[in-house]
Structure 1
Amino acid sequence: MAYSLTFYLILTLLLTCNLYVHACYTSIISFGDSLADTGNMKLLSIKTHGTTPHFVFPPYGETFFHKPTGRCSNGRLIIDFLAESLGLPLIPPSLAMNATGNVTGLGHGVNYAVAGATALDSSYHEERGEYTRTNASLGVQLGWFKESLSSNCPTVSDIKQLIGSSLILMGEIGGNDYNHALESGKSIHEVEGYVPFVINTIISAVNELIDLGAGTIVIPGNLPIGCSATYLTIFYGSNKVHYDNMTGCITELNKFAEYHNELLKTELNIIKTVHPQVNVIYADYYNAAMQVFLSPHKYGFTNGALKACCGGGGPFNYNSSITCSDPLSTLCDEPDTYFNWDGLHLTEAAYRFIFKSLFEGTYTTPQFRSVCPTSRLRPVGGGVASSM
């Protein structure tokens, strides 16, 4: 992939990093997978003439953008709501270029997240007989970013100024490492062995960014994957799993996600001790989302939290052979009343809820509003659709 595609993003970011003097951060730099990808996989498939992913077709994007943008949802993602709250434009994918060769959405951040990306390099999974959708692991994404820095930042102090004034989002990343393994038929117990390697990869990336000058890094944990319509469908009718009576979620998978999160928090606490000057923020995606799985109607998800709005039928409206956007798929009438969008990803309403719980609520450690006071955040509402 041509690293020059991010040249203009980084260069203009350097030139404009002091424009937003009233905001907490001048820009957002993001890494991750489909929970954060704002269009890289879409652009990557076009540039490489690869298989066109299903999420570049309607009804993806219908709620806010009114067209598919490459986001795996009907609208905005957590990163979009965060950018809006900081008074920044929506963060463009790093591969975004227009017909004249200029990158769109300059000066306010770069998003390296790619749908399907893993924390571990693809070779790790290939050696274990697992199919990965893209060779855009966390290490690859970080490499793209560092290559851009080395090409465009004259001095170390320039690099530190850029990164130090940015809010860095480290994912979500790691979920696909487990998804690929579980979908290939490996047991939950087998996949538990992957967790230390995934965590070490994330922690190594965090340390690299701190060495480069990062001042604030948000590191999300895993969602409660036992509540995913994908896994509820895969294990439907199986006597090998147990279900939580309060949520209907698969207990073993949620315990697995909690194991990942606890190990991640332990390692992040070590970093906080070594680098007390850095805001290392753990984002508790698991418990933020669990509020809804426990009481969906309380939070306005009147069609529940487990069944997908868009999918190929079945008890959870998910069918791996009939994806959302397939002519045979079914689409709900009121996406905002559903938490799950397409079986694996969430609706815009769900992402808005999680964003508010994290960045305006109490589900980050330390609380984000203590690092960036709420009075300096803009309220997130309906907004105006971007052309991205």
Structure 2
Amino acid sequence: MAVILFLFSLLLVSPMALGDIHFNYPAVFNFGDSNSDTGGRVASGLESISPPYGETFFGRPSGRFCDGRLIIDFLMDAMDLPFLNAYLQSVGAPSFHTGTNFAAAGCSILPANPTSVSPFSFGIQIAQFLQFKSDVLQLLAGNTKSRRYIPQADFFSKGLYMFDIGQNDLAGAFYSKTEDQIAALIPTILLEFETGLKKLYDEGARNFWIHNTGPLGCITQNIAFFGKDPSKLDRDGCVAAHNRGARLFNLQLHALCTKLRGQLSNSNIIYVDVYSIKSDLISNYAKYGFEYPVTTCCGYGGGQLNYDSRVPCGHTKILDGVPVTATGCNDTSEHVNWDGIHYTEAANFHVASRILKGIYSDPPFSDKMPFLIKPKY
């Protein structure tokens, strides 16, 4: 029944509703964390992922922390561009002609420290872009054979720069800081983000597409760790403090985008309210054809969350002398959450489809930033 409802909901999102004009960007350069990582962390050697990751679309793990495609994959599809290859990916001679992806799971906006999950902070990703651009321009000056695999020189000024980062700064801080301390930290986080954006602008970037952070309190991992006291949960069963922190971060991020529009001449800065889309999905999951808003699809433990941090998705661990395995569910389209942290492909498609309506962005899509075509599912 859930599958039927889900497919029916997709039919309601018609190309006419989304428009059939696509962006005219020759390339996309993406910066982010696991929400948009298309293989960066795995290519770095920091982590490997095993089946059932990738099972829904790719048939095998694809470097994505999902059962299939991510939001960025659907957005690339909507722009009629190929999926982005990770900057660190080398095996298979990937093409970077239409851009590349610097995102890496676990990264933060603030510089990494010895306890960070990933060394590829936002500043490092910016540095990687600068190196990438320098190498590309050098190749273009002397090697015509490589032109089909790398961006053209003007792609750096005409391309779209996408950002989905900041979630790990907030989520990680909740393990050691109070809510007030986290609120005081947000301006520092956003100053680092602003510094990175201005470096890209100085390099000729003009088109910026910035996702805010989602409802952190609705991530299954956070509910399991911080939500043991029911009084800490909101009406959707999400950790209230985490969601307050995310909303405060987003409020200040939105203000930063508004400020930068006035400072960076000829820039096109789009702020995308992913929080509202994801929050609406969690609150009204049945309306959109889902059955489980926070129950993990690939997990262990059963119950309302089906999540145990000791047994990651696809792994077998020994608990109390007994081997147990975190396996995938029978129907991923029934679940919003995939592995306790990340969304399923079905949920990612829903979010991408809502983004493409144009009403969740500031400014809304217009002649300068037109509607996109519906992504293929």
Give the TM-score normalised by the residue count of structure 1: 0.82
Per-residue CA deviation, residues 18-75 of structure 1 (Å, 9 max, x unaligned), is xxxx851001100111001100111111xxxx5x33xx20111100001001101111
Per-residue CA deviation, residues 113-152 of structure 1 (Å, 9 max, x unaligned), is 01111111113xx4xxxx2122100000100110222233
Matched, 1:35 2:35: yes
Matched, 1:263 2:252: yes
Matched, 1:86 2:70: no
AA in 1 matched with 2:261: K
Per-residue CA deviation, residues 330-381 of structure 1 (Å, 9 max, x unaligned), is 421111111111111101111111111112331111124644423xx44322
**Which position in structure 2 is the counterpart of 1:217?**
208
Distance 2:108 2:328 in 1: 29
Per-residue CA deviation, residues 234-266 of structure 1 (Å, 9 max, x unaligned), is 023226x53222x22222211110000011111
**Which position in structure 2 is the counterpart of 1:285?**
274
Match of 1:68 among 61, 77, 84: 61
Distance 1:191 1:134 in 2: 20
Matched, 1:244 2:241: no
Match of 2:243 among 254, 268, 272: 254
Distance 1:225 1:371 in 2: 32
Q: CA deviation at 1:163?
A: 1.9
Q: Percent identity?
A: 30
Distance 1:116 1:79 in 2: 17
Q: How does 1:123-202 map to 2 (within 5 A)?
A: 123=113, 126=114, 131-153=115-137, 161-170=154-163, 172-183=164-175, 185-202=176-193
Q: CA deviation at 1:81?
A: 0.6
**Which position in structure 1 is the counterpart of 2:222?**
231
AA in 1 matched with 2:103: A
- After superposition, the Cα gap between the structure-2 partners of 1:289 and 1:371, relative to the gap in structure 1 and judged at 3 Å, is farther
- After superposition, the Cα gap between the structure-2 partners of 1:381 and 1:368, relative to the gap in structure 1 and judged at 3 Å, is same
Q: CA deviation at 1:109?
A: 0.9
Distance 2:35 2:197 in 1: 19
Task: Give the aligned CA root-mean-square deviation in angstroms.
Answer: 2.1
Per-residue CA deviation, residues 170-215 of structure 1 (Å, 9 max, x unaligned), is 2x211112222323x4333332232111111111111221222222
Distance 2:368 2:294 in 1: 34
Distance 1:71 1:154 in 2: 31
Match of 1:362 among 348, 352, 359: 359
Q: How does 1:296-335 map to 2 (within 5 A)?
A: 296-301=285-290, 303-313=291-301, 314-327=303-316, 328-335=325-332
Q: CA deviation at 1:98?
A: 2.6
Distance 2:194 2:103 in 1: 17
AA in 1 matched with 2:74: F
Per-residue CA deviation, residues 78-117 of structure 1 (Å, 9 max, x unaligned), is 1111111111111100112236xxx313311100001111
**Which position in structure 2 is the counterpart of 1:348?**
345
AA in 1 matched with 2:250: N
For the 8 Å contact 1:160–1:212, the answer to whether it is kept is no
- After superposition, the Cα gap between the structure-2 partners of 1:81 and 1:215, relative to the gap in structure 1 and judged at 3 Å, is same
- After superposition, the Cα gap between the structure-2 partners of 1:87 and 1:166, relative to the gap in structure 1 and judged at 3 Å, is same
Q: Which runs of 5+ in 2 are unaligned?
A: 1-21, 140-150, 317-324
Distance 1:379 1:288 in 2: 16
For the 8 Å contact 1:360–1:369, the answer to whether it is kept is no
- After superposition, the Cα gap between the structure-2 partners of 1:353 and 1:149, relative to the gap in structure 1 and judged at 3 Å, is same
Distance 2:215 2:367 in 1: 26
Distance 1:97 1:237 in 2: 44
**Which position in structure 1 is the counterpart of 2:7?**
none
Give the TM-score normalised by the residue count of structure 2: 0.84
Q: Which has the higher contact order (CA 8 A, sep 6+)?
A: 2
How many residues of Structure 1 are paired with residues of Structure 2 in the alignment? 336
**Which position in structure 2 is the counterpart of 1:120?**
110
For the 8 Å contact 1:118–1:138, the answer to whether it is kept is yes
For the 8 Å contact 1:288–1:354, the answer to whether it is kept is yes
